[in-house]
Amino acid sequence: METGSANADASADADAGPSAAAAGPLPLPDRCLVAVSCTSPDLPAFLAEIREVASSGADVVELRLDLLADFDPKRDLDAILDGARKSGLPYIVTCRAAWEGGGWRGGEPQRLATLKLAALKGAPFVDVEYKAAHMFFAG
């Protein structure tokens, strides 16, 4: 398989939505990739941390939205995703529920809606817990 065609296929799958990801696995890298989490509690520091992670040698940036104090998806998500895109690294959006050891204190429907919004806005990966996946895909 040619690299160019694989990338085009992966891009087309990403545009098709969550069900397209089930059509086949992503190609595995030939080495271990290191993901570094952004965990700053305020937005300006969080955005700076994305840039720092990108320059640190990390392969992937994890955006821990659940650890942001006063996070409002409608107000903050575009800036966060834009910062992640500008980092040049792949990124995964995480909003970990308190029942899973995370910092999210809001309701489960709002948390899953935040992850869906990130996906709709072009996030290449979102982190959904197995126990919540049926709700994520249901609505």
Q: What is the pTM of this model?
A: 0.80
Residue 58 vs residues 30, 41, 95: alpha-carbon distances, Å: 16, 21, 20
Q: Give the mean pLDDT of the chain.
A: 87
Q: What is the DSSP string of 70-131?
A: T--HHHHHHHHHHHHHHHTS-EEEE--BGGGT--B-S-HHHHHHHHHHHHHTT-SEEE--HH
Q: Are strands 35-38 and 125-127 parallel, antiparallel or unpaired?
A: unpaired
Question: What is the mean pLDDT of the segment spanning 36-48?
Answer: 98
Q: What share of the chain is helix, strand, coil (3-state, %, to 5)?
A: 55, 15, 35
Domains of the chain: 34-138 (3.20.20.70)
pLDDT digits (tens, 9 = 90+) for 11-21: 444 444 444 45
